[in-house]
Structure 1
Amino acid sequence: MFRHVRELQFEAKPEKPDALYAAKFQEILGGQYGEMTVMMQYLWQGFSCRMPGKYKDMIMDIGTEEIAHVEMLTTMLARLLEGAPAETTASAAAANPVLAAVLGGQNPQHAIVAGGGAMPTNSMGVPWNASYIVASGNLLADFRANVTAEAQGRLQTSRLYGMTDDPGVRAMLKFNLARDTWHQQQWLLGIEQLVADGYSDVIETSNAEEEDQRWNKAFYSPNPGSTAGEGRWAQGPTLVGDGQIEFVPDAPPLTDDTGVLPAPDPLLHATYDGSQGPGAPGTPGGGLKKAGQGLVDKVKDALD
């Protein structure tokens, strides 16, 4: 259950409308790292969290706050679009609002599709996509993705801050910058808590016993002359366990497998020199065909 109050979390009052800026502003609402993404990402992680108590509550608290951020941004966008299409200096466009919008850099869909309101799109008009969100069920992996999302979102907000001198817009963006700063820290502290509570190592290490132990401490450098070995990532103790990092310079292949593919299914009509012998149905295309036919035969047999 969610609760809603009429007041915004923070005011969204531009000093004056600016349809051109509104088109740019769409990025931090419906872009890959916009507020819609973190809202859905955190809520989905919270809905699926199998750790009742402080972890689930923390995720849901932040996700619910992000709903408030989406509401703030959509309100700001609608107010920036007040009176749109914006005026342009081209007198020839004055009689054609859509043409004026294009020449002035405004997104015409703000007027045509959304009736002067915000849209669930990025700054180029591309619709928000659910594939942007990360919700794996593994809290360590998810919290790391959340730090990235907040860092990217904050960076884009910071860039937009520099694209306006409107004091009302800047006031709200200052608030958003502050919250993104804190949310990065919240997720990093969440990772610390996972480690302290014994639920995770510093990195994701499931099935650690199945790893090829020869290669779980090595910096593999296939670039001759690489200076990567000078960094901390290529020397000293590992972050997990008591091992030492090994730097492998000018690293060689670990196999003589050249990746030659098998002969193609003749039904796929691939270009082929015959070097792997004749192809036969049963390779990818033929296999699919045979599997489908087998299923049909089974259904027929059952009906008979």
Structure 2
Amino acid sequence: MFYHSGKLQYEVRVDNPDPVFAKYLQQAIGGIEGEIRVAMQYFFQAMGARGDARFRDMLMMTATEELSHIEFLGHAVALNLEKAPLSQQEAAAQDSVVGAILGGMNPRHVLSSGLSAMPVNANGVPFDMSHIYATGNIAADMLANATAEAGGRVLASRLYNMTDDAGMKDMLSFLIARDTMHQQQWLAVIEELGGIGAALPIPNATPEEHEATEHSYYFLNTSLDEPTPEGVWTNGGQSLDGRGTFTAREKVEPLGQKPDLGKARPGSGAQTEQL
């Protein structure tokens, strides 16, 4: 059950409407770094959550908050489109700066949505749900969520730097702050699970006898002309899960066979020469 307040989660104020910035804001709504993505990701993770009920509640509450972000970003798009020209005549009647703005805005904001937001990215491509990650493994999902929030905070920071509008900067500063919290809360779940060392390898419930452990902790240098990068992951450091020691291998002989499927089967549509 969802309930809705008539008020936005955060005030949206646009001092100088900018149809081009409305196009950029679409990325925060329907881009792979955007709010539709994280709202649906947390929602589906919550619906599949098993175990500690707190984590399901946490996911559902944050999914609902992300819906609130879609709502006020959509309002921001509409406010930025308020003075967008609706016709060639209207555009011609305004100065060259407005004409340039018309040239850079998304025409579908006029043609398809009547000067309002759409579930698309900055290029007008609809969000297709292909970036929703919900594995049913709490550790895998939390790491995916922290990465999603990191990408969202990168985007919000870039949008902040692309506008001089004080109202938009204020709204984006709120989004940047909430992305900070959401990064922290997902990583805090990993800490509650015993920390990254205890969570790894994911899934940590896989029996060790199911894993060819002799291959678990070496870095494979596949370059013919570059040396192995120096780092903890190559020079004998302990693995983060505490189960092994990092080593490196160079120019190793392949362990598999040369693939050969043999002749084609009759009736398979192959050429005579393949049979």
Report the TM-score when normalising by structure 1: 0.80
Query: What is the match of residue 154 of structure 1?
Result: 153
Code of the residue aligned with 1:94 in structure 2: it is A
Where structure 2 has 5 or more consecutive residues not aligned to the other structure, the ranges are: 94-98
Structure 1 residue 176 displacement after superposition = 0.5
Where structure 1 has 5 or more consecutive residues not aligned to the other structure, the ranges are: 279-304
Q: Does 1:120 align with 2:119?
A: yes
Structure 1 residue 102 displacement after superposition = 8.7
Query: What is the match of residue 111 of structure 1?
Result: 110
Kept in 1: contact 2:14–2:168 (CA 8 A): yes
- For this pair of structures, how many residues does the alignment match? 268
Query: What is the match of residue 231 of structure 1?
Result: 231
Moved over 6 A (4+): none
Code of the residue aligned with 2:12 in structure 1: it is A
- Deviation track 1:177-217 (CA, whole Å, cap 9, x = no partner) reads 11111211111111111236x98436433243211121011
- Deviation track 1:127-180 (CA, whole Å, cap 9, x = no partner) reads 111112111111111111111111111111111111110000000001101111
Taking the aligned partners of 1:251 and 1:86, their CA distance within structure 2 comes to 64
Query: What is the match of residue 129 of structure 1?
Result: 128
Taking the aligned partners of 1:102 and 1:265, their CA distance within structure 2 comes to 61
- Deviation track 1:88-118 (CA, whole Å, cap 9, x = no partner) reads 9xx89628xxxx6895211111111111110
Q: 1:203 to 1:137 in 2, by over 3 A?
A: closer
Q: Pick 1 or 2: higher relative contact order, CA cutoff 8 A, min separation 6.
A: 2
State the structure with more CA Rg: 1
Greater displacement, 51-60 / 38-47? 51-60
Code of the residue aligned with 2:184 in structure 1: it is Q
Query: What is the match of residue 250 of structure 2?
Result: 249
Quote the RMSD (CA, aligned, Å): 2.6
Structure 1 residue 66 displacement after superposition = 0.7
Q: How does 1:1-304 map to 2 (within 5 A)?
A: 1-85=1-85, 94=92, 104-195=103-194, 200-201=199-200, 203-205=202-204, 206-235=206-235, 236-255=237-256, 257-270=257-270, 273-274=273-274, 278=275
Q: 1:265 to 1:52 in 2, by over 3 A?
A: same
Taking the aligned partners of 2:265 and 2:113, their CA distance within structure 1 comes to 51
Q: 1:223 to 1:93 in 2, by over 3 A?
A: same
Q: 1:26 to 1:238 in 2, by over 3 A?
A: same
Taking the aligned partners of 1:272 and 1:10, their CA distance within structure 2 comes to 69
Structure 1 residue 75 displacement after superposition = 0.8
Structure 1 residue 242 displacement after superposition = 3.7
SS at match of 1:7: coil
Kept in 2: contact 1:134–1:142 (CA 8 A): yes
- Deviation track 1:245-299 (CA, whole Å, cap 9, x = no partner) reads 12112222123x112223223444345754xxx3xxxxxxxxxxxxxxxxxxxxx
Report the TM-score when normalising by structure 2: 0.88
Taking the aligned partners of 1:264 and 1:81, their CA distance within structure 2 comes to 60
Taking the aligned partners of 1:101 and 1:52, their CA distance within structure 2 comes to 54
Kept in 2: contact 1:46–1:60 (CA 8 A): yes
Taking the aligned partners of 1:208 and 1:248, their CA distance within structure 2 comes to 23
Query: What is the match of residue 96 of structure 2?
Result: none
Q: 1:237 to 1:52 in 2, by over 3 A?
A: closer
Kept in 2: contact 1:44–1:135 (CA 8 A): yes
